């Protein structure tokens, strides 16, 4: 059974993951309107992934005899001045989610909630990967610069990341099957 403090923190994380999913969906739409199809695909996939993160927490809370609360989401930002601004916003968002996961982990440790501590370990590893991936994209954006053809090359680099991610997911599924 979850303590009230842990339950509140998990429900807060459900909202945070839902907001991240909506935010990525808005970013995907912006990219698609800009003709950045590689970036749009990346953000559509990120949105689905964040929703899956939210769903995992919902199921965990309910499994632990808690009550998962689904809160309303605010309107995500839908306009950006540049792809550089967009990815900087993504990085800040991921850092915020990481901080929230760490706070949740601290709460579960203080509450001696070993089950939740174990459950959260997957999120710790996932956030490390998410932040590293966004830092890689930001580094590539910095290298490519802001010249006339930069958007094309940025979109191609993100499309390469999409392909690599798809390949890794396929290999992981083969290992499970």
85 known member of a binding site = no
127 known member of a binding site = yes
Angstrom distance (rounded) from CA 3 to CA 98:
22
Q: What are the distances in angstroms from CA 40 to CA 55, 66, 83, 162?
A: 23, 36, 11, 10
Angstrom distance (rounded) from CA 54 to CA 18:
6
Angstrom distance (rounded) from CA 111 to CA 48:
31
17 known member of a binding site = yes
43-58 burial, b at 16+ Cβ within 10 Å, e below that, comes to: bbbbbebbbebbebbb
Angstrom distance (rounded) from CA 28 to CA 120:
28
Binding residues: 17, 50, 53, 94, 127
Binding site, annotated residues for Fe cation: 17, 50, 53, 94, 127
């Amino acid at each position: 059974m979850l303590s009230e403090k842990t339950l509140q923190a998990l429900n807060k994380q459900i909202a945070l993951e839902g907001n991240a999913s909506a935010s990525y969906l808005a970013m995907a739409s912006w990219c698609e309107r800009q003709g950045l199809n590689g970036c749009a695909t990346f953000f559509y996939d990120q949105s689905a992934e964040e929703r899956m993160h939210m769903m995992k927490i919902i199921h965990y809370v309910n499994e632990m005899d808690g009550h998962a609360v689904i809160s309303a989401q605010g309107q995500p930002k839908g306009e950006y001045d540049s792809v550089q601004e967009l990815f900087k916003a993504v990085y800040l968002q991921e850092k915020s989610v990481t901080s929230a996961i760490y706070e949740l982990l601290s709460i579960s440790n203080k509450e001696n909630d070993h089950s939740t501590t174990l459950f959260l370990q997957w999120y710790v590893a996932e956030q490390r990967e998410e932040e590293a991936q966004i830092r890689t994209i930001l580094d590539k954006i910095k290298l490519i610069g802001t010249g006339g053809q930069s958007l094309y090359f940025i979109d191609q680099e993100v499309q390469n990341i999409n392909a690599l991610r798809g390949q890794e997911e396929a290999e992981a599924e083969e290992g499970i099957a």
